[in-house]
């Protein structure tokens, strides 16, 4: 029985890390698809400088992976499954944003996808809070970041109509 629990938690930990890897690789692939279109866009006045993007994303991916492993190792079974499920839906929404924004340039649809990712990230923080308070706090910068990104995504179609 103990071996099965350890195996299940190990698999859940691997799933959490794999989810973050898929997120990082998928979003990087679609962002790299941009041939200068993004640079040509009018940007909202509250957009952070490019340096901030380069600093926050490694932190966000690391925080998601570490917190996912901690939740997998410490959380009750239903909580772990919920975290992985909500996390997967959040990643799908975030990847949908990256694809919609950078490939077919469907800015309105991309903004909706990012708003969904933000709402799901808030749920992820709440689930995390039930297992580890420091983990939930560690995810707050990510929640703020996707919220800010959503506000930017909403502004882009208006500024570039």
* Highest CATH level, class, for 2-159: mainly alpha
**Could you give the C-alpha distances from 66 to 7, 77, 130, 132, 158, in angstroms and in order?**
18, 18, 16, 11, 37
Token pair for 16? 């959490």
Distance CA 27, CA 14 (A): 20
**How many CB atoms lie under 10 A from the CB of residue 161?**
7
Span 99-148, pLDDT tens digits: 999 999 999 999 999 999 999 999 999 999 999 999 999 999 999 999 99
Span 51-75, pLDDT tens digits: 998 899 999 999 999 999 999 999 9
Please list the alpha-helical segments (H only) found in 33-132.
37-40, 50-74, 77-102, 107-129
pTM of the entire structure? 0.92
């Amino acid at each position: 029985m103990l071996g099965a629990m350890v195996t299940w938690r190990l698999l859940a930990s691997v799933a959490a890390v794999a989810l973050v890897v898929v997120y990082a690789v998928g979003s990087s692939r679609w962002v790299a698809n941009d041939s200068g279109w993004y640079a040509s866009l009018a940007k909202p006045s509250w957009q952070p400088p490019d340096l901030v993007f380069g600093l926050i994303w490694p932190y966000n991916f690391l925080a998601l992976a570490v917190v996912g492993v901690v939740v997998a190792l410490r959380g009750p079974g239903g909580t772990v499954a919920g975290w992985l499920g909500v996390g997967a839906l959040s990643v799908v929404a975030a990847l949908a944003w990256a694809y919609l924004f950078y490939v077919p340039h469907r800015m309105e649809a991309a903004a909706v996808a990012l708003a969904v990712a933000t709402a799901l990230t808030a749920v992820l923080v709440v689930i995390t809070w039930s297992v580890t308070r420091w983990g939930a706090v560690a995810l707050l910068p990510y929640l703020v970041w996707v919220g800010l990104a959503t506000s930017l995504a909403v502004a882009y179609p208006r500024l570039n109509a």
